[in-house]
Structure 1
Amino acid sequence: MEEEAAARHSDALALDHLQTLIRIPTVSRLDESLIEWSRFDEFTSTLALLYPRVHAALSLDIVDGYALLFRWHGRSPGDETVLMAHYDVVAADDATGWTHPPFDAVVTGSGADRIIWGRGTLDDKGAVAAILEAVESLLGAGFVPEHDVYLSFGHNEETAGSGAAALVRELEHRGVHPRLVLDEGGAVVEKVFPGVSRPTAVVGVSEKGMANITLTVEQSGGHASTPPRLTATARLARALVRLERRPFPASIPAPTIEMIRTIGAHSTPLLRFVFTRADTLRLPLIALFARLSDETNAMIRTTAAVTQLRASDSANALAERAVAVVNTRIAIGSSVAATLRHIRRVVRDPLVVIEASTPSEPSPVSPSTGAMWQLLSETISAVYPRAIVSPYVMLGASDARHFTSISSHVYRFTPFEMSSAERATLHAIDERMHVSTFLSGIRFYRTLIERL
């Protein structure tokens, strides 16, 4: 009874800590002059209050102004591990439509249905808190890791900022080449694969590249009452329609083939026959994935989404400059250069200037065999015994891509169960997660650290 009471108290304290951190709106913005940096200072000082053992036993360096790098000294040199998360969140300036205000960290329900609401629960303060709770509890038990463990918490992941690259430079300066790096990414999900009823723990072994492609048309302006045959905006629109009608070529990279075989082995008999023969049935699978959902379509090709449009500042003046920003996510096996070639070939208009900004190539593929993969798989199975563990290619971009320059075992997995409805709240209204999921995440990190 005493142990149960102690566990309940520990869980309640961990939840209270997460609520405290969510209530600090550490919103990162592309225009850094608009960032409330005092909130980031508040977050850092609050961590010291919530996790006194961590701050007493681990060294802390602040890199690039606000990125946090903790070092937990192990008994033996080498074979370091880096556990990553980020504490900045996307904006939620307008609370309209939210069931509960985004930074109030309201908890509703009871028992297994308890839910914590707020910006950052899933992305990514939940992971920050889970890692720190695990380390704090292990320190309380007198645990010392065999090798150094670093906790790397970025401050501008949501804006693809400079924090992660600075953290990598710091580790490289120290001569640290981790045997394992674990960042956010995949999760324990359900009903994402045809015919599979069991939950699936998808672990990112790579991630797609990214580039913002700017299409610009410049020509003479004038009054809107006498437009030329083809205005700057019309020329730009034509280019975008051409791009929409000519998607990037489709293929299935090796990690996706392995994912199809691994998860497909648990599907219905007919689908299992197809999925376990993914190597020899690539063309039918490409056709299936292209039609199945937007997510499966994104697994097999580079994607392009028009995210920003700018033209005239006046309703009755012709635009002298029309600009579109196309966010591309670049498939494994392709490149930024190949993406630009495809867009230029499809647009076929020399008056549309096409340039890439913030380019990032697809990440190297980390192995889905060997000691580090087995360690991750066994730890996931210990916490989520029903889950099928599978590699996959992460569709979004994360800070982890920077760490591939110092480690060949970089994985992307957030140890939380996420329903499709909960996943849909990432960067959206009503971000939330089950309290039990957060507590399972703490158990995952604790188990992983004990096994390192």
Structure 2
Amino acid sequence: MSEERAAAVARFQELLRIPTVSHTDEDLIDWAPFGAFRDALTRLYPRTHAALTREVVDGHSLLYRWAGKSASAPLVLMAHLDVVPVKEEEWEHPPFAAELVGEGADATIHARGAIDDKGALVAILEAVEQLVAAGWTPARDVYLSFGHNEETAGGGARAIVALLTERGIRPGLVLDEGGAVVEGAVPGVPVPTAMVGVAERGVMTALLTVREAGGHASTPPAFPATARLARAISRIHRHPFPVRIAAPVRALFATVAPHAAEPYRSVFGNLALTGPLLARVFPHLGAEMNALVRTTAVVTELAGAPGENVLATTAKASVNIRLLTGDTVESATARIRRVVADPAVEVEVRHGSDPSPVSPWRGEPWRRIAAAVTTALGDEIVTAPYIQLGASDSRWFTAISDHVYRFTPFHLTRAERDALHSHNERIRVDVWLRGIGFYRDLLSAS
């Protein structure tokens, strides 16, 4: 590895070692690491901080502006500072040690945030630092938007959008974390695919509550609150949302069809005929395929009595619902109530946001992303639109831009993707270094 690349990896490791962990309850957050991270960025990327202006927004989020030759239709590159909590005992390597394991093509950095999302954040800064050092000036303004609480409330990104709105700034292209370069994600497609999110599912939490008088567990009623709640949960599980192929998913299949083996090529290329059958088959091909063709609902939290010999006066369940394009918080809530079919089970929306608008998968902004994929990551890679399965800070930017995309420029295996928000998160060094090239090429075309 060259000295330049080794230095970039060392900077990445240093930033991964700063535990910028966010919590839903912000009273639990240690804010000192966020300040340390901000200070480290200033020290590690001196040219960037000399050439760009930086504002601290909403207490901890960062907004950089790189003045270009024109202020119109700027490029916004997004990432987030925060990472999810860890259970250290589950990790093979300490989650905030950023240990480099292996050599050559197998060299891998193990750390929380290696992919989600400091991998992208640091790669962006490396690309900017290189271009500033080369004396390059962007044709259009460039903004770097780094939220501090993407994993929880997303308030930092919302505050940045409010600030840009106040200043009359309407980005021509916004790129946040999202899909990656993957293989085998679409059945029958042997070529690697750059999955670029043109929309993301909405997210909501519905709270199911059953109330009763309570009492001693030695004399339970015929149908206690916990049993009624369990029946409601079972009904939701046994009656999933209907399947359908939304427009971005149709575009995904149409894009990969020429690269698919038969019979997939014919199936993907004739969705007008095969679409209904395909939608019914995909849920059986894995969790990701299921999430592409339906709104999903799963119970994530349960609460009942305070003791093992006490009847619950209230039994509660949280249902996490991810809304497919075309569904809404209102329509999903109505369906949950119909499926539960029990007036004694209260259904309350704790919070929710509808699916994002769909950005076009044609036109100049899309071509810029696809060109950077080809030049930096490989000309054998097919760039394809899809629906982002998780929520990101980019959803707030749809209020000020019609071209909001979600793509992380790393070639990830199934096991690496599975480690996100889990133990043993990691990224191969070569993969991360190529990601820097993607951002450099995208910036150069802006």
Band of TM-score, shorter chain? over 0.9
In structure 2, C-alpha distance between the alignment counterparts of 1:429 and 1:291, rounded to whole Å: 26
One-letter amino acid of the structure 2 residue matched with residue 346 of structure 1: V
Q: What are the superposed Cα offsets for residues 303-326 of structure 1, whole Å, 9 maximum, x if unpaired?
A: 001100011110100000111000
Q: What are the superposed Cα offsets for residues 247-285 of structure 1, whole Å, 9 maximum, x if unpaired?
A: 111110011011012123211122111111123211111
Q: What are the superposed Cα offsets for residues 26-77 of structure 1, whole Å, 9 maximum, x if unpaired?
A: 0000110110001111110111010011111111111110010000000122
Runs of 4+ in 1 over 6 A off after TM superposition: none
User: Are 1:299 and 2:299 matched, yes or no?
Assistant: no
User: Are 1:334 and 2:356 matched, yes or no?
Assistant: no
2:243/2:280 contact within 8 Å kept: no
Show the counterpart of 1:52. Answer: 46
One-letter amino acid of the structure 1 residue matched with residue 420 of structure 2: L
Q: Which of 230, 240, 251 is the aligned partner of 2:244?
A: 251
Q: What are the superposed Cα offsets for residues 126-147 of structure 1, whole Å, 9 maximum, x if unpaired?
A: 1000000000010000011011
2:204/2:349 contact within 8 Å kept: yes
Show the counterpart of 1:229. Answer: 222
One-letter amino acid of the structure 2 residue matched with residue 17 of structure 1: R
Show the counterpart of 1:15. Answer: 9
The worse-fitting range, judged by mean Cα deviation, of 267-276 and 45-54 is: 267-276
User: Are 1:96 and 2:81 matched, yes or no?
Assistant: no
Q: Which runs of 5+ in 1 are unaligned?
A: 1-6
1:24-35 equivalences in 2 (<5 Å)? 24-35=18-29
Show the counterpart of 1:270. Answer: 263
User: Are 1:192 and 2:185 matched, yes or no?
Assistant: yes
Q: CA deviation at 1:10?
A: 1.5
How many pairs are equivalent? 445
In structure 1, C-alpha distance between the alignment counterparts of 2:396 and 2:291, rounded to whole Å: 22
The worse-fitting range, judged by mean Cα deviation, of 67-76 and 284-293 is: 284-293
1:45-444 equivalences in 2 (<5 Å)? 45-92=39-86, 94-383=87-376, 384-444=378-438
Q: CA deviation at 1:288?
A: 1.5
One-letter amino acid of the structure 1 residue matched with residue 107 of structure 2: R
In structure 2, C-alpha distance between the alignment counterparts of 1:184 and 1:403, rounded to whole Å: 13
In structure 1, C-alpha distance between the alignment counterparts of 2:404 and 2:107, rounded to whole Å: 33
2:196/2:384 contact within 8 Å kept: yes
State the secondary structure of the residue aligned to 2:399. Answer: coil
State the secondary structure of the residue aligned to 2:243. Answer: coil
2:123/2:433 contact within 8 Å kept: yes
2:147/2:154 contact within 8 Å kept: no
Show the counterpart of 1:445. Answer: 439
Show the counterpart of 1:4. Answer: none
Q: Percent identity?
A: 50
- TM (norm. structure 2) is 0.99
Q: What are the superposed Cα offsets for residues 306-352 of structure 1, whole Å, 9 maximum, x if unpaired?
A: 10001111010000011100000001011000000100000011111
In structure 2, C-alpha distance between the alignment counterparts of 1:239 and 1:97, rounded to whole Å: 33
In structure 1, C-alpha distance between the alignment counterparts of 2:28 and 2:250, rounded to whole Å: 44
In structure 2, C-alpha distance between the alignment counterparts of 1:102 and 1:219, rounded to whole Å: 44
Q: CA deviation at 1:8?
A: 1.3
State the secondary structure of the residue aligned to 2:383. Answer: strand
1:257/1:279 contact within 8 Å kept: no
One-letter amino acid of the structure 1 residue matched with residue 110 of structure 2: W
State the secondary structure of the residue aligned to 1:269. Answer: coil
State the secondary structure of the residue aligned to 2:252. Answer: helix
In structure 2, C-alpha distance between the alignment counterparts of 1:221 and 1:288, rounded to whole Å: 45
The worse-fitting range, judged by mean Cα deviation, of 282-291 and 32-41 is: 282-291
Q: CA deviation at 1:95?
A: 1.4
Q: CA deviation at 1:290?
A: 2.0
Q: CA deviation at 1:161?
A: 2.9
One-letter amino acid of the structure 1 residue matched with residue 149 of structure 2: N
State the secondary structure of the residue aligned to 2:2. Answer: helix
In structure 2, C-alpha distance between the alignment counterparts of 1:77 and 1:171, rounded to whole Å: 12
- TM (norm. structure 1) is 0.97
In structure 1, C-alpha distance between the alignment counterparts of 2:2 and 2:24, rounded to whole Å: 41
Q: CA RMSD in A?
A: 0.9
Show the counterpart of 2:31. Answer: 37
In structure 1, C-alpha distance between the alignment counterparts of 2:162 and 2:185, rounded to whole Å: 37
In structure 1, C-alpha distance between the alignment counterparts of 2:116 and 2:321, rounded to whole Å: 21
Q: CA deviation at 1:358?
A: 2.1
State the secondary structure of the residue aligned to 2:421. Answer: coil
Q: CA deviation at 1:298?
A: 0.9
Show the counterpart of 1:3. Answer: none
Q: Which runs of 5+ in 2 are unaligned?
A: none
In structure 2, C-alpha distance between the alignment counterparts of 1:262 and 1:288, rounded to whole Å: 20
